[in-house]
Structure 1
Amino acid sequence: MTNYTQRAVKGFFWVFLMTMLGAVIGYVYRMVLARNLTVEEYGLFYSLYAFMSLLFLFRGLGMGQALVTYISKYIANEKLSEAKIVFNYCVKIIGATSVVLATSALILSKYIAIHYLHSVELVFEVRLFSLLFLFQGIDQTMAQILTAFQKHFKYASFQFIRQILSLIIVIPLLKFGLKIQAPIFSYIITSLTLLVLYFSWFGKKLIPKIKRINKNKSITKQLWTFGLPTIFASLGGLLLQNIDTFMISILKTTSDVGIYNSAVPISSILIYVSTAVSTVMIPMTSELWAKKMYTHLKEGIEQIYKYLLLVTLPLVGIITILSKEIVILLFGKQYIAGGAVLKILIFAGLMGLLSTTNFNVLFAIGETKKIAQYTLFGGAINFLLNLLLIPALGLKGAAITTVIGYTLMFVLGFIHVKSKTKVTFNKGHFLVIFIGAITTAIGIIINSQFKINNLISGALFVLVLAIIYCSILITTKTVTVKEIKELKSKFIS
């Protein structure tokens, strides 16, 4: 068990560290866009991004997810020939579908520009997006391969390099006078650069050295059985993540899309946490399940719930209290309306993180059909409620529906995980939630007495809340000094 715990702690640490550094760069990237584009142009870019994400949903037909799970499984059992079969087959399917979808988008570019963006002048931007999603499919596949082989540091550095390259490239493009073409070109150039940097290393260092690859119908059947349901899970996920932007662009204006997308990236900070968890959790859970180490798996999942709540609840509290100030700081006063949206969306981020944790477990043990059902249900509810609440409540309505959708997904996912692994949401978890709520309440009182209007006062406010939070955790023995030392030793050793 110690070996698995050490791997989990080390893996999560590096992925989390590099992911959060990448997140900071990502926020700087959005700040640069927001301050160099008008609110309408900023909204137009993300309207197009949301639409193309829906179109490219079928890229890979679920083979990317199958690649992560089955390579982990075969490597754990030292079946390198089978791992090579999985790798070759999945990569071919992903490549073929990416080309077909990109070609289709290029052919339909004029139709999309006229009927969705309502401007024939944006045909060029639609075509650029088609190429962008083709190249992003390549580096997404490389990231999935690193995850499958549990190369956590390599995965984390890969994602960080992607973020920082995008930022370095977009700044001069904006200075040269490009508008929404600037972020598109920056992403395309970044993807091509990553391909050049990593491709040869993948072939020499990572992929199993098996000269002859025999066809195996049994394995390919398993891949399709596993992979196809994940398309519907991805559809539900996109309905939750992008349908708000898509429907706001139809029911409201592109300026409203811009305002809404000032809140989305901040609330998505918890998604970065879930990315780090997923990268470590999926292949390791798959390995433990394959080896029938059910007790270790149960204990590990319960610990993950606890530490996720420990880390994220104070963050949720701080963002809730300072939502308006955070939006103004990052995007400017023209986006101030996004503060009210962020106050709601941050809870969608929290529920999304917890539901993703459940789905990581189900994904790793092969329950992809259940993931698809629960995600589609949450996405469908989000879509239907958007039709009602966006006209009635505007951007706040879109945020509320997202919270509801993710909450339903979490409840359904947890019930199923519990039935499979006997995992429980124990008193310790509820104590963490209670302490987080108490700390947030204290923060609201402090904020009402002392106006926080600059970086120094904001930093002091966060420091005071952190001290209060940690003090309560230690006093109530929710976290012990011994526990901290054990985690430290598992990372260092």
Structure 2
Amino acid sequence: MTDKKSKLASGSIIILLGSIILRLGGFIYRFILSRLLTTTGYGIVGLTLPFQNIFIIGASGGVPPAIAKYVSEYKAVDDKKMVHQIIITGLKLMIFMALLAAVIMFLISEPIAIGIWHKPEALLPLRLVALIIPFSIIVGALRGVFQGFYQMTYIFYSKFIEQIFTLIFAIILVLIGWYAAGAVLGTAIGFLMALLGSYYLFKTDMKKNYLNGNYEPITFKEELGLILKIFKFSIPVVISGVAEIFLYDTGTFFIGMFLPTLFAGFYTNASAIARIPLIISNSISTSVLPATSEASSLKNRELLKLYIHQSYRYTTLTTLPVSAFIMVFAAPIMSILFGKEYVPGASALWILVTGMFFFSIYLIGSSMCQGLGKPQKPMYALIIGAIVNMVLSFILIPRYGIAGAAFATTISTCLLMIITMYDLTKITSIHAPYLDMIKMFIASFVMIGMMYVVPQNILGMIIGGIIGSILYLAIVVFTKAIKRDDVVFIEHIANKTGPLKKYLDPVVRFIYNYTD
């Protein structure tokens, strides 16, 4: 396997491992709070999440990626003064926007909690979201600096600190009687500690070892020009980010409007489980962007075709069986992870996980479009999907409850997947490997049929998961839905399994010998 052919797989696996660790921390948080709070209390926490997400994305304005871009550019030419100035201007901008967003959140909390939702118990938690926003936005700026210096481990450390302290303080505050408000306040403390930890890393590394000189301040006019430069880069990023939040969280907002609070808790946990396949697709999409950009700049059509086909096959190969497993065992998964009280969330989970598979394919197409210099294409698709989701949620949730919210999201993600795949084909004149993907779909349907036969309990999940996975992989291999070049992806996964590697190596060799 050549370096270029294995680049996509190796990069994806590295990112995947970090994502799994962080996602695991998120599940521990939900697992514990689901048991410490009542379903109604946890539902209140769920209702605050869309506002946390949208204000963090909206107020940061895509500035962290801009900081990363310009820090890395100026550092590449060793222009320390401009590296320093980008960081200072970026932080000033983020602090101003953070405070503005916090004030707006505080002001709208009462009209939303009382006027729209008619849920006074949600008022204090919503107001506490205003406390989360400043810390989270400023720590986002420092993570942008880390990215610009290629210190990806520092980003991981920062997020790990955030998760650990959020979990600790949320549990303590809930136990001493702060209820749902304690969980939200715990998140604020988690971000505060992440901010302190991130600043310490910045000061002891970048500041001490690189930005250790005295730099003349620039004029107000020059700094204004720099702000406009940052904003110009940020606008497409923030539009896409806000549209993505609308796509994810519109259902939660309308559930708060039309349904009792506890249904927001059901849907919040169902949404978290449904997004598990996105761990895989996010890792692949992150790696495919620079790979696609490289192939495009080299004007190497064969290499571009290889990356496009590999991306679609990797994503479909891995996310389909995961989605199928979650779909079939939705009820026992909800019960095991969050308690029997959350089993009603299964009615949304089995639908929503289908939508997240569609979104996984969209993410791949979106990254490839960005790598080819066409970021507006997936942005437009995402905006269309967000609007469709809002309209459908308003119509379907009053009639079908949380299942209606899941249907609205699934239909919307299917639409934006189709639009983005069409756009990518039009840009590159390269079609997705439809025949291989159809074979994988057939294998997943067989897997689903087999898993429906076993009991819907823990033992059934284990037996069904093992036999179903073997059956799925056998069909994919024997129908030649994967190619020899794709086996490197499976090989990289096997290499990271520790003591299981010696048992998986014969399987990898068998697949490799059987493929073309």
Q: Deviations over 1:368-388 (max 9, x none)?
A: 433332211111111111222
Report Cα offsets for 1:204-236 as digits up to 9, x if no partner: 545864856864888765543332233332332
Q: Is 2:455 the partner of 1:431?
A: no
Aligned pair 1:24/2:31, yes or no?
Answer: no
Q: 2:479 aligns with which of 476, 482, 487?
A: 476
CA gap 1:397/1:57 in 2 versus in 1, 3 angstroms: same
Which deviates the most, 360-369 or 457-466? 360-369
**1:108, distance to aligned residue in structure 2 (A):** 4.5
1:441 lines up with 2:433 in the alignment: no
Counterparts of 1:47-446 in structure 2, within 5 Å, are: 47-69=47-69, 86-118=86-118, 123-203=123-203, 205-206=205-206, 209=211, 211=215, 215=222, 221-282=228-289, 296-427=303-434, 430-446=435-451
> Is this contact kept in 2: 1:344–1:403, CA < 8 A?
yes
CA–CA separation in structure 2 for the residues paired with 1:485 and 1:43: 43
User: Which consecutive residues of structure 2, in runs of 5 or more, have no partner in the other structure?
Assistant: 496-516
Query: Deviation string for 1:68-127 (max 9, x for gaps)?
Result: 555566667888776666554444322321121112323454444432453556544333
The whole-number CA distance in structure 2 between the counterparts of 1:437 and 1:293 is 33
Deviation at 1:360, TM superposition (A): 2.3
Structure 1 counterpart SS, 2:456: coil
The answer to which of 114-123 and 88-97 deviates more is 114-123
Q: CA deviation at 1:309?
A: 1.2
Q: Which moved more, 1:192-201 or 1:258-267?
A: 192-201
TM-score normalised by length of structure 2: 0.82
Q: Is the Cα contact below 8 Å between 1:76 and 1:287 reproduced in 2?
A: no
Mark the CA change 1:78 to 1:469 in structure 2 (over 3 Å): closer, same or farther: farther
Please give the alpha-carbon distance, in whole angstroms, between the structure 2 residues aligned to 1:277 and 1:74. Answer: 28
User: Amino acid of the residue matched to residue 61 of structure 2?
Assistant: L
CA contact (8 A) 2:236 2:379 kept: yes
* Equivalent residues of 1:15, 1:153 under 8 A apart: no
Aligned residues: 488
Instruction: Compute the displacement of 1:312 (Å).
Output: 0.6
Q: 2:456 aligned with 1:452, yes or no?
A: yes
**Contact 1:14–1:153 under 8 Å retained in 2:** no
CA distance in 2, matches of 1:204, 1:8: 33
* Counterpart contact for 2:43–2:262, Cα < 8 Å: yes
Gap runs ≥5 in structure 1: none
Given the superposition, is the C-alpha separation of residues 436 and 166 from structure 1 closer, same or farther in structure 2, using an over 3 Å criterion?
farther
Residue 58 of structure 1 contacts residue 97 of structure 1 at CA under 8 Å; is this kept in 2?
Answer: no
Q: Secondary structure at the match of 1:178?
A: helix
Please give the alpha-carbon distance, in whole angstroms, between the structure 1 residues aligned to 2:308 and 2:81: 31
Instruction: Please tell me whether the aligned partners of residues 269 and 345 of structure 2 are also in contact (alpha carbons under 8 angstroms).
Output: yes
Counterpart in 1 of 2:38?
A: 38
Q: Which one is further off, 106-115 or 229-238?
A: 106-115
Q: 2:465 aligns with which of 449, 455, 462?
A: 462
**Offset from partner CA, 1:174-206 (integer Å, 9 cap, x none):** 332331123212212221222222323235545
Using a 3 Å threshold, how does the CA distance of structure 1 residues 8 and 216 change in structure 2: closer, same or farther?
Answer: farther
Superposed CA offset, 1:22-72 (max 9, x none)? 222222211211112111111111112224434455212332343455556
Structure-2 change in CA distance of 1:274 and 1:59 (3 Å): farther
In the alignment, which residue of structure 2 is the partner of 1:13? 13
Q: 1:71 to 1:403 in 2, by over 3 A?
A: farther
3-state SS in 1 of match to 2:178:
coil
- 1:147, 1:279 within 8 Å by CA — same for their partners in 2? no
> Residue 431 and residue 131 in structure 1: after superposition, are their counterparts in 2 closer, same or farther (change >3 A)?
same
Residue 319 (structure 1) shift:
0.9
Contact 1:71 1:148 in 2 (8 A): yes
Q: Is the 8 A contact 2:67 2:141 kept in 1?
A: no
Question: Matched residues in 1 for 2:384 and 2:417: separation?
Answer: 11
Secondary structure class of the residue paired with 1:425: coil
**Counterpart Cα distance in 2 of 1:297 and 1:75:** 30
CA distance in 1, matches of 2:490, 2:341: 44
1:79 and 1:4 map into 2 onto residues whose CA distance is 32
Find the aligned partners of 2:227 and 2:285 in 1 and give their Cα distance. Answer: 24
- Cα separation, partners in 2 of 1:482 and 1:368, compared to 1, 3 Å: closer
1:424 partner SS: coil
Residue 243 of structure 1: CA displacement? 0.8
CA 1:395–1:185 in 2, change beyond 3 Å: closer, same or farther? same
CA distance in 1, matches of 2:297, 2:86: 17
* Equivalent pair of 1:45/1:180 in contact (CA under 8 Å): yes
Secondary structure in 2 matching 1:242: helix
Distance 1:265 1:421 in 2: 34
Worse overlay, 204-213 or 250-259: 204-213
Is this contact kept in 1: 2:6–2:488, CA < 8 A?
Answer: no
Greater Cα offset, 311-320 or 461-470: 461-470
| Structure-2 change in CA distance of 1:56 and 1:489 (3 Å) | closer
Q: Structure 1 CA distance, aligned partners of 2:349 and 2:109?
A: 33
